[in-house]
């Protein structure tokens, strides 16, 4: 087994900025990236209510092999999240209860798996934010190796070390580190705009008008206009 650890230093987002990002729903982050950055619809938390806001460390592993994930736990810094490219394979888990306990011990902020996890009851009890495509009892093997801190493809998104992962009941969104500062201001502005829309709707305005949706054209009944 060969596991390559890339030397990939990245800029750490200041705690104050991370605290602001923690108030941004993944959906809003995707909106301000022109509806981009969202992982596939299968990506979901193992328990409703789990949230994630942390910078990513990455793992690429062969299908059903979790050896590199074990190795990655030994190089994580407190507050890092782990993004795992497990090939999108849903029939064998690469993450479960033992790894979750190790992740908690080293201060991991959460785990995102492009693949399957197991020991769901334990994961829900531990409270570590874990997002995956599937839950299955069949476990992994170890032997083929992989990579840590390289560029990966995870559930339809490119992730590089240091990119920001935002997760909630909707799923997971990836915010590129290079754009995080500018996007934070845009996301906060969008949240404020949405709050204003809600206020105006409660005052009697129509959402269709506020959203710029034109009124429907009155068409005659029958075949014409249908």
Which residues neighbour 170 within 8 Å (Cβ) at sequence distance 6 or greater? 25, 26, 27
- Which H helix or E strand runs over 77? none
Confirm whether residue 88 is marked as ligand binding: no
Angle at 210 between CA 205 and CA 214, to 5 degrees: 105
166 is in an annotated binding site: no
Tell me: is residue 98 an annotated ligand-binding position. Answer: yes
Taking the C-alpha atoms of residue 140 and residue 124, their distance in angstroms, rounded to an integer, is 20
3 state DSSP class of 141 = strand
Consult the annotation and say whether 97 binds a ligand.
yes
The DSSP bridge pattern shows strands 110-117 and 164-168 to be unpaired
- Report the alpha-carbon distance of residue 138 to residue 121 in Å, rounded: 15
Copy the structure tokens of residue 189.
């502005």
For the annotated binding site, the residues are: 96-99, 118-119
For the annotated binding site for Mg(2+), the residues are: 119
For the annotated binding site for substrate, the residues are: 96-99, 118
């Amino acid at each position: 087994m060969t596991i390559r650890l890339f030397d990939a230093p990245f800029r750490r987002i200041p705690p104050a900025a991370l605290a602001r990002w923690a108030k941004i729903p993944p959906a809003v982050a995707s909106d301000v990236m022109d509806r981009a950055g969202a992982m596939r619809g299968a990506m979901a938390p193992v328990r409703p209510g789990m949230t994630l806001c942390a910078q990513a460390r990455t793992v690429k592993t062969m299908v059903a092999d979790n050896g590199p994930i074990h190795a990655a736990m030994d190089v994580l810094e407190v507050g890092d999240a782990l993004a795992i490219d497990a090939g999108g394979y849903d029939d064998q888990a690469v993450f479960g209860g033992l790894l979750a306990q190790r992740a908690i011990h080293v201060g991991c902020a959460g785990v995102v798996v492009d693949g399957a996890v197991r020991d769901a009851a334990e994961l829900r009890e531990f409270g570590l934010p874990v997002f995956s495509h599937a839950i299955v009892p069949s476990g992994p093997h170890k032997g083929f190796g992989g990579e840590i801190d390289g560029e990966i493809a995870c559930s339809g998104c490119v992730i590089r070390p240091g990119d920001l992962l935002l997760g909630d009941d909707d799923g997971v969104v990836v915010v590129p580190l290079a754009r995080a500062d500018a996007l934070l201001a845009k996301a906060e502005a969008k949240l404020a705009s949405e709050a204003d829309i809600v206020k105006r709707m409660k005052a009697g305005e129509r959402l269709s008008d506020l959203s710029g949706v034109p009124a429907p054209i009155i068409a005659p009944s029958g075949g014409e206009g249908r």
